Structures are given as C-alpha cells and as structure tokens.
Structure 1
Amino acid sequence: MRKLIMWNVVTLDGYFEGESPWDLSFHGLVWGKELEEFSLTQLRSADMLVFGAKTYQGMADYWTNAKEEEGEVAKYMNELPKLVCSTTFGKTNWKHSTITKDATTEISKLKSDGSGDLFVFGSASLSNSLMKANLFDEFRICIAPVFLGKGRRLFTEGIPNQNVQLIETTPLTTGGVILRYSK
C-alpha cells in the first residue's frame, strides 16, 4: 500500500508562502547540499507527485524550463507521473500529468494500488482538504529559520484534531530543520 506524504517548507511562524503568490524566497535560507539530497531521496521513492491547480501550474512553469544546474532533481520532477487535483483545471502542460476532479476518491484508490509513495508538494488548499479526509500518512516539514509576519499559512482552521508521532528530526547546516511525523 502506498503512503501519501506531505512535503513543505514553512517559516517558523507557519507561512508556506509570502504575501504574494509564489513568494518562496525564504526557501533559499534552507537550500543546500543536505536538502538537495533529501529531495532526491524523496523523489526516488515517489510513484507520483500530487498538486493542486495553482501549485501544479507554478511547478510546471519552473521545472519545464529548469536550468542545467537543477540536474537530477529536474529529471525526476519532469519524468514522474503527476496528478492535478482541481474541479476547474482544463488542460495539463507538463508531461506525465493527469487531472482528477475528485481528489479524495482518486487518492484513496491510488493509495491502495502499488508500493511507491505519493507526494503532495506545496498545495495548501489541497493539503487541507486531504487532511480533513484523513488521507495523509506522513508529514515532512522543513522549518526555515525566519519569521515572515505575514503571508499564506500552510495549515488553516477547520483541520480535525490529529495526533502524530515524531519519527525523525534532521537539522541542516543552513539552520533549517526537517521534521518527519507519521500517523
């Protein structure tokens, strides 16, 4: 059975995006060789990447035009199957992509087939919906050492109470920390 895993970088005060869409400048505070290796390990274990429509479009725009120095990460991002969860999204523009209008039903089916992991990157609205449906098996959060003070929070009100267990803590030389929690 596959696991559904959330992966996000957030600030110490809980923001996953700055004041404007795709303001992810704080990611540079934690990026380095360690986080690159962690990213590759995740991508190697992935059977599929799962995105909401806005994150999908931003990722597609970035990774289809990735520079050579993005190397192996770009290869995985472009070659892995991708699922876009949206009731309004019309057409994919990134290879190996499909659309579902019913994320919870589709992901429930996908979890029961295969053995590789399903990763949700970014996609706060989708992640909140999947949390409400109790579909995540693991949460991987990298804490960036900064307070933004404003922006878009990853976790919103209305998420049901869910106990999780810390399974790994990985400090980064950049000052960030990767936290892994399972249900």
Structure 2
Amino acid sequence: MSRLILAMQTSIDGYVDSSLPDAAWQLWNWGPDWPWSEDLRASFNRLLAEASGILLSRPMADDGYLAHWARAAEQHPDDPDWAFARAVGALPKFAVSRAGRPAQDWPRTTVLNGELADTVAQAGKLAGGGLVCFGGAGLASALLRAGLADELRLFTNPGFAGTGRTIFGPWLATRTYRAATSTAHACGIAETRWVR
C-alpha cells in the first residue's frame, strides 16, 4: 500500500481553525502575501514534488480548493516559490465522498465513494505512489481515527486559536507516532514530522 502523509496547519493550542473572529493564529493564511520564509517554501515544495497524488475531502473540493490553486499557478507560472501550486494542478486528485455524488468539473480529479480505508487504498493504487492529504478537518480526523495516516506533518503557526476545530480526539490516546524531524522555520512556523 502507498504511504499517506497527512499535512495540516495547526495553532500552538492544537486547533486547525478558530471560531473566534479576532483570532490571529494563522501566519500562513494562503493569501497572496503571506510571510512564509524561504526554508518553509522549499520544504513545502519538496512535499508536493515527492507526492504521486492528493487526497482531499469533498467539501474542500466544493469550497474552491482546486480553483484557488489553479489561479495561483496561473499568476506565478515561472516562480519557483509557487511550484507547489502548479503541482496541485498537475497531480491526480482524489476527493473522498460519502454522498455518492458525481464529480464536478474538477480537472484531474476522481471522486471516490465508499468506506474510507477502501477509498484511500484505491487512491494510492490509482496514483501509483504516495499520497498527501491536506484535509479538511473531518477527513483528517477520520484518517487518524482509522489509523490510515503513515505520517503526520504538522505546520504549527506561532499563535493561539483559542477554540475551533481540531483533528485530534481521545481515541488517539492508544496510538503511537515517533518524531522523525522537527524544523523551526525562519518565519516562526514549526514543522514536525511524526511517523508510525
């Protein structure tokens, strides 16, 4: 079975978003001018360069994830810092759905319906190699709960969300990951790789 890397941004207090309107936890907000440093850009570009496919939730696809990165790739066609945006467009994508709805007009995207373990295995087989998953929160949590993530890569922002969604729960108390690498990037984000 191909490896699955679950990559998520978190706050210092472990949330992946905030329900507080004035929370400024997220340094890396995916906007046009976020202050990510050269070392973080290089690491993120390597993550996408090594992937054979992208796994994402159906709601992420519905909410414009693919269109957003297609626009970013068009705006930065030759910029090496934005190689990951071009990779998002070029790699095969697999949207996991329990609803059984047909795919929208998403280029290079296959909607997979069924049990989570089966759809992840099918995505890995179709991709022909390792997958990277960026969520959303519900899919990330389900992957951890089912023991399907071979690696958890956390990009911890230098701020507190206070409250919001988390991908962690008490059902993880019996799971064990070991630290593989930890990097404090110049912009203040800490990247930690945890592997099974």
* TM-score, with structure 2 as normaliser: 0.81
Would you say how many aligned residue pairs link Structure 1 and Structure 2?
181
Give the structure 2 partner of residue 105 of structure 1.
Answer: 118
Whether the 8 Å contact between 1:30 and 1:176 is mirrored in structure 2 is no
Whether the 8 Å contact between 1:30 and 1:144 is mirrored in structure 2 is no
Give the structure 1 partner of residue 97 of structure 2.
Answer: 86
Residue by residue over 1:109-166, the C-alpha shift from the partner in whole angstroms, topping out at 9 and shown as x without a partner, is 4446776320111321112222222111111001111012122223234446210110
Deviates more, 1:157-166 or 1:40-49: 157-166
Give the structure 2 partner of residue 77 of structure 1.
Answer: 88
Q: For 1:65 and 1:34, how far apart are their aligned partners in 2?
A: 24
1:140 aligns to what SS in structure 2?
A: strand
Gaps of 5+ in 1: none
Give the structure 2 partner of residue 132 of structure 1.
Answer: 145
Give the structure 2 partner of residue 59 of structure 1.
Answer: 65
Shift of 1:54: 1.9
Matched, 1:18 2:27: no
> Aligned-residue CA RMSD in angstroms?
2.5
Determine what percentage of the aligned residue pairs are the same residue.
23
Q: For 2:189 and 2:83, how far apart are their aligned partners in 1?
A: 22
1:15 aligns to what SS in structure 2?
A: coil
Give the structure 2 partner of residue 153 of structure 1.
Answer: 166
Q: How does 1:33-52 map to 2 (within 5 A)?
A: 33-52=38-57
Deviates more, 1:75-84 or 1:87-96: 87-96
Deviates more, 1:159-168 or 1:27-36: 27-36
1:136 aligns to what SS in structure 2?
A: coil
Gaps of 5+ in 2: none
* TM-score, with structure 1 as normaliser: 0.86
Matched, 1:3 2:22: no
Deviates more, 1:55-64 or 1:109-118: 109-118
